Amino acid sequence: MNALTLVGGSFEEDLFPFSLTRSVADIRCGILTIREKWNAYAKHYPALIHYSLPANLIPRQDLVDSLLANDSLFLQKWPRKLLQATDIIRFNDEEIRHDFKLITRGRQSESVSATNKLSGHSIFIEKGAVVEHCFLNASEGPIYIGRDAMVMEGSMIRGPFALGEKGVVKMGSKIYGASSAGPACTLGGEIKNSVIFGYSNKAHDGYLGDSVIGEWCNLGAGSSNSNLKNSGGEVKYWNPIKKTFVGAGQKSGLLMGDYSRSAINTSFNTGTLIGVCCHVFGIGPTPAYLPSFSWGYDQERYDFDKAIQHISQWRKLKNRQLDPEEIHLLKSIFDQQKPSK
């Protein structure tokens, strides 16, 4: 099947660490990835498959209309594009609302169990999902529960919120909008205004706020992040490619690359950036930046063979295997990362 071509560019450097392990088009923002959003439009506008577009463009109907009308000026001025990693958080509220309409248009939700306490009407439950004895407040934004997902009793969810296919929200969780999780994520504790790409766990008590978590990550029990400096000043992240700090506004939390994991009770500083495949542990709050394949706060080198073994074991927990192409990509990242020790 032909598909719209979504290409990379200089913006990839500013979407570190999430652009290390995927095309920018496969970054999740809202319920869907950018590629999935474009594919949804291409089903109705087949001519889109002949276009080649920057992978960081987030589509809307007016953008599609301008493309088909060959309005290049409109495209150049398009404001919805990912230019840095924190834009994933900034656009997430709007994107959950947009994707909710895109996914549910013309469809009927499964019935919502009478055991739940409901507010608002924009609640969509996919087939096979189990939601019992929960508080679902969609008065401020929609709530989407994916196919075969489970929201356990006592959970309190305020939209906009999206839980992907086979995701789990554990008992007594407190989730604020705008938050979204991709497929097979396990959520627990307190979560606010965060995006979790897929197959990752924030399963226990602790706070996650204004953060982006990649795929196959695990936050140990009691792990929490700060999203506001004690001074109330601007939060800045280290960009290891451009060797400079980048401002991210007054509120911003943790950015964690794929395959990274934290020990129990880890305290993430405001504006913490974690690379790919890091084992995060140490005494006190985390450093502001941990390079990919770091073993602890002291940034010892994570042995590659051991890292692959650990990743494979984590993937088995969700009935997935690590394929040779992914191993090759991870080896490339490992070889490019200069040891700090």
Residue 22's contacts (CB-CB under 8 Å, 6 or more residues apart) are 258
Q: Which one-letter DSSP state was computed for residue 172?
A: T
* C-alpha–C-alpha distance, residues 123 and 121, integer Å: 6
* C-alpha–C-alpha distance, residues 224 and 207, integer Å: 5
Report pLDDT digits (tens) over 22-71. 999 999 999 999 999 999 999 999 999 989 999 999 999 999 999 999 88
CA angle 321, 3, 101 (to 5 degrees): 85
Report pLDDT digits (tens) over 264-294. 999 999 999 999 999 999 998 899 999 999 9
* Phi–psi pair at 196, nearest 5 degrees: -120, 120
pTM to 2 decimal places: 0.95
Report pLDDT digits (tens) over 236-267. 999 998 899 999 999 999 999 999 999 999 99
Q: Is 141 helix (H, G, I), strand (E, B) or coil?
A: coil
* C-alpha–C-alpha distance, residues 235 and 307, integer Å: 31
pLDDT at 1 over 80: no
Q: Which one-letter DSSP state was computed for residue 324?
A: H
Residue 61's contacts (CB-CB under 8 Å, 6 or more residues apart) are 41
- Where do the domains of the chain lie, and which CATH numbers do they carry? 5-83 (no CATH), 117-336 (2.160.10.10)
Helices (H) and strands (E) in the chain, counts: 6, 31
For residue 341, the model assigns a pLDDT of 47
pLDDT at 93 over 70: yes
CA angle 183, 116, 187 (to 5 degrees): 30
Cα end-to-end distance, the chain, whole Å = 48
- Count other Cβ atoms within 10 Å, centred on residue 140: 15
